Amino acid sequence: MVGRLIGLKFTIARHSQSWKRTVGFVLACLAVVATWLTAVFSHPDAGADVLGFVLLAWLVGWMLGPVLTSGATVLRPEYFTLLPLNRWRLGVSLLASVFAGVGAAGMLLAGLSLAGYAVVIDAAQAIPVAVVAAVLFTITVVSLARLVYSVLGAAMRSRIGVEIASIQYGLLIAAMFVGWMAVSPVVNALPVFLTQGFGGTVAADVVAWSPGGWPLRAVDAAAAGDWGLALAWLGGLAVAAALTSVGAAAMLRPYTGNRTVRRWRRPLGSGTGRRLLPTGRRGAVVGKELRTWWRDPWRSLEIRSSIWFGIFLAVFSAVGGFAQLGALAGVGVALMIALSGANLYGYDGTALWQLVVAERPETVRADVRGRQTAIALYFGVPAVLLSAVMVVITGAYGYVVPIVALIVVVLGVGSGVSVLMSVVGATPGVEPHRRVNSNDAGENGLIIQIALWFTILASLPTLAVAAVTTFGGPGLPVWWSFLVLGVAVVNGVLGAKVLGGIAVRRLGDHLPETFARLRYPGMKVTRSGSGDWLDHLSHAAFEEARKAAEAKRKTSARKGS
């Protein structure tokens, strides 16, 4: 069965975008080479610290990587639910198929750098231990990665799981934005690190005791001739490999339980919400959106990872020695509107049919404006609260005016950009009632990039006056603060009105086409446009989504007609 599953995996992989495979292959090669260079060329005194750190980095990379890419779900266990197979055997076979690939091969090759390390420290007798340690470490890492990913998938059925996934996403996005702040002290210290390691600090112990350090301890023990200790460390690795493998195989058994956790009470907002919400078309949309933001795990993931992004932003700033920048955490949360909300219609899947069959200018406008109101409220409240807390913690009271201005403008402009991108770049994911994994909701990388930069660009007037306030010193007159806030309000409201207005017109003109993009993924549905920039952008987004859909369509048995 393993052979067949591996064959199936490669067949499906062949249908994925070739550049992604090439990039993956090149990155894996580079990482292997870097690991070997570290093992061979770092100073013998520092070698254990450095290589241990690098192996730990491999482990962390394996745990985080699959969450960012959708590659890990090539073979979904639920494809095989109906086959008369032993569920455990299927789980084990699926796990085995994970090992057949560039990633696992790269991990093994990188692990074998332990043998290079053994040569560098002049202990050829430790090479067999190094090889065994590399194999066991590879099994541990790959199984652990699959285990973590599956646990996250299962976790999307519960609040706590969504929270864990959110922390991961928040950390990753923060690392992409301001990781340099935290990394710069490390980079500056790199030459010292390569020659002296951690210099006997706590960090050295942490790495040595972490799973990344175990293979090295085994090799070091063998090098010192302490074969009993070497075997003990190998035994520890073997136990770790066995535990993670059994755990991963268990999680890879097809899940046949409920999709949602059983509730014992009515969902939140079903009673009181009604009295608080405005009536009328727009109120109806705001109510639906707020409830969905609150109750849908995939949307919760967006807001929660945004909040965690803000928190990590503050943490990284503090690590980098710019603690006062932590007050910007709320601006970070607000900025995430443009990213998290760039595919609102895609989140809802084919539910857009309701707007199509109820089409009127008023309903389309209510839908777009209602979504804007809901997303600005839902991200705005945590943004303001988080910045307020951070201002109190860091004592950066002097920055309150520019921070309030930035939150206001980003919420306004972001809500406009979000609905406009959602209309122009509507990208289908897995249908809402069939979602399992945290990255099933569908996203369009191109649109997210444009949304982010467009939001910043459209907020420039406020950014400019806020910058003057921040760097202008105490000499600015009192009225300047009011001017900054005034500019922010006008900039934000205009951004929301104008961009939202374009979204309303665009959706009104292209309602069946927007629906078709979600209903028939990858199918070309033409509508003679005027050839303006929105048409070009829409076409580019469509192509991006089409390529992704092509690969996906071959793997998922969708109901079509």
Is 374 one of the binding residues for another protein (CB under 8 A)? no
Extract the tokens encoding 155. Answer: 């976790």
Is 366 one of the binding residues for another protein (CB under 8 A)? yes
H/E stretch holding 475: none
Q: What is the dihedral of CA 401, 403, 404, 405, to 10 degrees?
A: 80
Q: Is 362:524 a contact under the CB 8 Å cutoff?
A: no
Q: Ramachandran region of residue 426, left (φ > 0), alpha (ψ -120 to 50) or beta?
A: beta
- Distance of alpha carbon 344 from alpha carbon 374, whole angstroms: 11
Is 320 one of the binding residues for another protein (CB under 8 A)? no
- Report the nearest approach of another protein to the CB of residue 528 (Å): 11
Backbone angles phi, psi at 19, to 5 degrees: -65, -30
| Out of 220, 367, 440, 443, the residue judged to bind another protein by CB under 8 A | 367
- Report the nearest approach of another protein to the CB of residue 254 (Å): 20
| Out of 64, 102, 296, 535, the residue judged to bind another protein by CB under 8 A | 296
| Out of 164, 183, 323, 356, the residue judged to bind another protein by CB under 8 A | 356
Name residue 499's amino acid. L
Packing angle of the helix pair 478-509, 445-458 (nearest 10 deg)? 140
| Out of 38, 166, 168, 363, the residue judged to bind another protein by CB under 8 A | 363
- The position carrying tokens 């500056």 is 188
Give the residue with the Cβ less far from another protein, 89 or 524: 524
Question: Residues 245 to 264: which contact another protein by CB under 8 A?
Answer: 259-260, 263
Q: Is 466:398 a contact under the CB 8 Å cutoff?
A: no
Is 512 one of the binding residues for another protein (CB under 8 A)? yes
| Out of 527, 536, 539, 554, the residue judged to bind another protein by CB under 8 A | 527
Give the residue with the Cβ less far from another protein, 279 or 530: 279
Give the residue with the Cβ less far from another protein, 195 or 350: 350
- Distance of alpha carbon 388 from alpha carbon 361, whole angstroms: 40
Extract the tokens encoding 68. Answer: 């960012």
**Span near another protein by CB under 8 A; candidates 61-69, 291-299, 372-380, 477-485:** 291-299
Burial of 504 (0-12, 13-18, 19+ CB in 10 A): buried
Q: Is 538:507 a contact under the CB 8 Å cutoff?
A: no
Is 516 one of the binding residues for another protein (CB under 8 A)? yes
| Out of 490, 525, 537, 540, the residue judged to bind another protein by CB under 8 A | 525
- Report the nearest approach of another protein to the CB of residue 531 (Å): 18
Is 353 one of the binding residues for another protein (CB under 8 A)? yes
Total residues contacting another protein (rule CB under 8 A)? Answer: 51
| Out of 519, 546, 547, 553, the residue judged to bind another protein by CB under 8 A | 519
- Report the nearest approach of another protein to the CB of residue 291 (Å): 6
| Out of 148, 285, 338, 447, the residue judged to bind another protein by CB under 8 A | 285
- Report the nearest approach of another protein to the CB of residue 362 (Å): 7
- Please name which of 214, 248, 4, 207 lies closest in space to residue 104, comparing C-alpha atoms: 248
- Please name which of 352, 476, 498 lies closest in space to residue 415, comparing C-alpha atoms: 498
Contact footprint for another protein (CB under 8 A): 259-260, 263, 265-267, 270, 274, 279-281, 283-285, 287-288, 291-292, 295-296, 348-351, 353-363, 366-367, 431-433, 512-513, 515-516, 519, 523-525, 527, 559, 561
